[in-house]
Amino acid sequence: MLGALVACGGGGGGVVAGIDRLGVTNGTINGFGSVIVNGVEYETGTADFDIDDGPGSQSDLKVGQQVTIQWDSSDDGVTRSAQSVSYDDLLEGPIDSIDPANQTLVILGQVVIVDAATSFDDEIVPRDLTGLELDDVVEVSGLIDGNGVIRATRIDFSENSDDFELRGVVESLDTFDRTFIINGLTVDYVDVLNPPALANGLFVEVEGDTFDAGILYAISVEIEDDGISGADEGDDGEVEGYITDFVSATNFSVSGIPVTTNAQTTYEHGVVGDLALNVKVEVEGELNSSGVLVARQVEFKSGDDDDDGDDDSIDGRVAGNVTAVNAGAGTLVIAGVTVTVTAETRFEDQTGAVGQFFGLDDITVGNYVEVRGDPGTGAMLTAVILERDAADTEGLLRGPASAVNGVARSLSVLGVPVTTDAGTQYRDDDDNAISAEAFFAAISNGSEVEVQFTQSGGAIVADELELEDSDD
C-alpha cells in the first residue's frame, strides 16, 4: 500500500450535544476564508493547527498543500467546524535531477511530476519547473499515484537546507541491519535512538541528515496514522487522490485508504466502470468497523490518468489583463476567454496586495491574472488555478487550436482568433525555431499550441507560436 496523508486522530464515537456529524477530510487547500478544502469551507476559529509536527496557525498554510481536517457539524455537514488541521510535506530534500521534457524532478530517489496543477512558492522565479535548479532543497506537497510517482500540488523552497524528509509505508523491513524501504528508497535507521516498533505496512515519517548512494540515513522515524484511518466507525470520511490499488469496484484504495462501493454509491463525471488503477477521484462516505471507507459518492476529477500513460490533464492556460469581472456569475474575461471559477478553484495572490483571503471579489478590471484550467466549448475555460500577478505587457494563450489556416497563417487558440505578422516567431514542441511553413504543416485542429503576444487591447497578434507536447 502506498502512503497517504497524515490524520489527526479519530473523530470519536457517540454523539456530542449539538453535533450530529463527525468527519475527517483529506484534500487540497483551494483557498481561505477560513480554510477551503476540496471546495468546502471549514471554520477554523477554534481549531488546533499541527504544522510539520509542531504547533502552528492558519497563516502557515498555503494553497495547493495537502491537509487533513478533523471536523464536526451541527447541521448534517452543511457547515463544518474544524477541530484540528494538520499539514506535513510529503517529501523534502535536494533536487537530484530535472527533466524538462517530461516535467519531472527526482528528490531522494522519488520521481515528482510537475504539471499545470502544481502551485509554486512566489520565491521560485519563474513559478514553474524552470525556476528550479539542481541541489535546490524543496518541500513537496502532493499525491502519490498508482505507479509510486508523486504528483506535486505545491512546491516551496525549504527553510532548512539540512533537513531531508519522506513519508510513506514501510516495506522490506530488516530489523537486524535496521533498514527498510519506502517507495523504492532504502532507509538506514541505525543511528535512530529508541526507534518505534516497526513492521511492514506501517505508515511512517522519516527525517534524515544524509542522503548518499541512494540511501537515506535517518535520525528520526515516527509512526503516523495514514489518512482517515485515524477516524472512528460511523465517522464521515472524505479523501482526494489517485487509485493506488485496484482489485474491483468494491475493493480498491485511494491514496492508500481502503474504499468500497455498494448499490447506493453515486458517481459524478463518470460511472462505476471508470474505476481503475491511477484514476483520480474524490470519495465521500462513512468508515465501517474495519476502517474501510464505504463510498456514498465517487467524483472523477480533472487530471485523471490511467495506467497506460494516457493523460487527460489540465491543458488550457490564459494570462493577461482582466477586461471584465462578474463576481455574481463567477466569471472573468482575459484575452477574450471567459473564465469560470468554481468552489474548487485554487486562488492565490502573488502581488502581496492581499494575504490568504483572496478570491474573485478581490479582482478588478486591469489586474494581471494567470489561469490554468480545463477548456470548454469556444472561448471558455474552467479555472483550476487562478493567480494574480504583477502588471505585465505580455499575454499568453495555450490550448487546442482550431480554424487553422496555413495560407493566411492564422488560427484560433482556446477559441480566440490569433493572427501573425512578419515578426512572429515559430517553435516546435522541442522549443526549436522553425519556419512558419513548418509550423503550420505540423499542426491541425486540436493540436495544443501556446501563443505569446503583446497586450494592446485589440486583436491578438502572436509574437511567438509554439507547438506544445500535450504531456508538458
DSSP assignment of 156-187 equals EE-S-TT-EEEEEE-EEEETTTTEEEETTEEE
Instruction: Decide which of 185, 202, 223 is a domain's last residue.
Output: 223
User: Same structural domain for residues 381 and 420?
Assistant: no
Q: Which amino acid belongs to residue 454?
A: T
User: How does pLDDT run along the chain (472 residues), one tens digit per residue?
Assistant: 223 333 333 334 444 557 888 999 999 999 998 999 999 999 999 999 999 989 999 999 999 999 999 999 999 889 999 999 999 999 999 999 999 889 999 999 999 999 989 999 999 999 999 999 999 999 999 999 999 999 999 999 998 878 899 999 999 999 999 999 999 999 999 999 999 999 998 999 999 999 999 999 999 999 987 667 567 889 999 999 999 999 999 999 999 899 999 999 999 999 999 999 999 999 999 999 998 999 999 999 865 443 333 444 558 999 999 999 999 999 999 999 999 999 999 999 999 898 899 999 999 999 999 999 999 999 999 999 999 999 999 999 999 999 999 999 999 999 999 999 999 999 999 899 999 999 999 999 999 999 999 999 899 999 999 998 765 5
Q: What is the CATH number of the domain that holds 176?
A: 2.40.50.140
Residue 330, domain CATH: 2.40.50.320
pLDDT at 242: 96
Answer yes or no: do 442 and 403 share one domain. Answer: yes
H/E element, 441: helix 436-442
* All three cell numbers of 192: 535512530
d(CA 317, CA 314): 9
> 3 in a domain, yes or no?
no
What's the CA gap between 112 and 140, in Å, rounded?
A: 9
Residue-level pLDDT at 10: 36
> What gap in Å lies between CA 257 and CA 134, rounded to an integer?
34
Closest CA to 84 of 11, 31, 16, 141: 11
User: Which set of grid coordinates corresponds to residue 348?
Assistant: 492565490
Domain membership flag for residue 15: no
Does 99 lie in the same domain as 76?
A: no
Cis ω for the linkage preceding 100 (within 30 of 0): no
DSSP assignments along 350-416, one per residue: -SSSS-S---GGG--TT-EEEEEEEE-SSSEEEEEEEEEES--SEEEEEEEEEEEETTTTEEEETTE
Q: Note the pLDDT of residue 456.
A: 93
What is residue 14's predicted lDDT score, i.e. its pLDDT? 46
- By three-state DSSP, how is residue 456 classified? coil
Last residue of a domain, which of 331, 364, 392?
Answer: 392
What is the extent of the structural domain holding 132?
91-157
Residues 111 and 63 in one domain: no
Cβ neighbourhood burial of 58 (10 Å; 0-12, 13-18, 19+): middle
Type of residue found at 123: E
Residue where a domain stops, chosen among 125, 141, 157: 157
What is the reported pTM?
Answer: 0.89
pLDDT of residue 5: 33
Please indicate, yes or no, whether residues 322 and 262 belong to a single structural domain of this protein.
no
Contact 189, 170 (CB under 8 A): no
Is 457 part of any domain?
yes
In this structure, the answer to whether residues 78 and 37 fall within a common structural domain is: yes
- Residue 265 and residue 297 in contact, taking contact as beta carbons nearer than 8 Å: yes
Give the pLDDT score at 472. 53
- In the chain, the number of structural domains is 6
373 touches 382 (CB < 8 A): yes
Residues 343 and 363 in one domain: yes
Q: Are residues 36 and 73 in the same domain?
A: yes
Residue 113 lies in a domain: yes
Q: Is the Cα dihedral 299, 304, 308, 310 positive or negative?
A: positive
Q: Which residues contact 282 (CB under 8 A, 6 or more apart)?
A: 27, 38, 238, 239, 240, 298, 299, 301
The answer as to whether 8 is a domain residue is: no
pLDDT given at position 230:
64
Regarding whether 172 and 145 lie in a shared domain, the answer is: no
Q: Is 406 inside any structural domain?
A: yes
Residue 101 is assigned to a structural domain of this protein: yes
pLDDT at 3: 34
Is 309 a member of any domain? Answer: no
Same domain, 83 and 148: no
Rounded to a whole number, what is the distance in angstroms from the first to the last CA of the chain?
28
CB 214 within 8 A of CB 109: yes
